[in-house]
Amino acid sequence: MPNDSIVREFLLLGFSEVREMQLVHAALFLLVYLAALTGNLLIVAIIALDRRLHTPMYVFLWHLSVLDLCLISVTLPNSVAISLTDRRSISLLGCAAQVFLVVVLVTSELGVLTAMSYDRYAAICRPLHYELIMTNTACGKMAASSWFSGALFGVLYTASTFSLSFCGPNIVEQFFCDVPSLLKISCSEDLVAINVSITGGVALGVVCFVLIVISYVRIFRAVLRMPAAEGRAKAFSTCLPHLGVVTIFLSTAFISYLKPVSDSSSVLDLLVSVLYTVVPPTLNPLIYSLRNRDMKAALGRILKGRFLLPPLRDKISVSCC
């Protein structure tokens, strides 16, 4: 292969070629990004500052918000810049970094969502043993496993993808670098490495999905046996939004990575990628914070300067006197 035919950079796909539509897309994505950024930063700050929220449920929510914050920051700002400047080129190294970060964050988020479903199962179905099951050590191991699996698959996907040859068209039919779009323009015929990586990722996704389904089946059985209608309504209001986000996240990710490369259209690819990289990070703050009494109460305490622990406040008041 001649050296001058090897691709050194890629061109990302925009949402429109019409200038007015590019500006509309940039404004819309910028508003979505700012909303997701504000919501997730708020959740991270509230949980970090209020000691009363240092429980398994909110620890996992903290990790989820950090992942959402990073995921939407990897994809949206660059897309907004492309629409504003019409400069679509991204270096080979920059594209590899995007693939690595997206895979790490998506895989880690899948692990955190699975841990959150198990936490809800333990809280609703085994309340008397909840503190014994969801110890600090257990929560730490679950969170660490999620991040470790994300890093592992990030390395596997990035290494296997960029071990392929790119010598033809360099237009990535996506608004960020992802594996399916890069496979379309690869000129390599040996896809064993990437196929093994995708198979491993799908296997992990199926296992997590099965665990989530089992957790929620047991949760719904327990909820339906509750005598009080108020208790059932509270449990459903907590679990159903979580299940909805998980369903959108997993189904669109599976569609993106499992559909035949030759049969996919760029418009469908863009829509599917938005559903699993943009929608969950934007909706999660609305689902987990604005409708949550504990989060609202914690925000009120922080705004009033009451998030410090009582002994610490007493020390401060004594030192001031």
Residue 318 located in a structural domain:
no
Domain-located, residue 90: yes
Confidence of residue 315 (pLDDT cuts 50, 70, 90): very low
Q: Which of 139-143, 144-148, 271-275, 298-302 has the lowest mean pLDDT?
A: 298-302
Q: CA-based angle 92:98:99, to the nearest 5?
A: 90
Taking only the tens place, the pLDDT of each residue in 282-314 is 888 887 766 677 777 777 787 777 544 444 444
CA distances from 16 to 21, 40, 70, 198 (A): 6, 29, 26, 30
| CB of 101 closer than 8 Å to CB of 74 | yes
Q: Each residue of 160-209: pLDDT tens digit?
A: 999 888 877 788 888 889 888 888 888 887 778 888 888 898 899 899 98
DSSP per-residue string spanning 73-105: HHHHHHHHHHHHH---EEEHHHHHHHHHHHHHH
Q: Which has the minimum average pLDDT: 26-40, 88-102, 304-318? A: 304-318
Domain that holds residue 116: 9-308
Q: Note if the pTM is more than 0.75.
A: yes
Whether 314 is covered by a domain: the verdict is: no
Q: Which strands, in side-by-side order, build the sheet including 9-12?
A: 89-91, 9-12, 171-172
**Domain-located, residue 239:** yes
Specify if 315 maps to a domain: no
Nearest to 248 by CA among 273, 223, 225: 273
C-alpha to C-alpha distance for 305 and 321, rounded to whole angstroms: 18
Number of compact structural domains in the chain: 1
Note whether residue 255 is domain-resident: yes
CATH number, domain at 140? Answer: 1.20.1070.10
**198-222 b/e (C-beta count within 10 Å ≥ 16 → b):** beebeebbeebbeebeebbeebbeb
Quick one: CA dihedral 219, 224, 228, 229, positive or negative? Answer: positive
141 part of a folded domain:
yes
Residue 194 inside a domain? The answer is yes
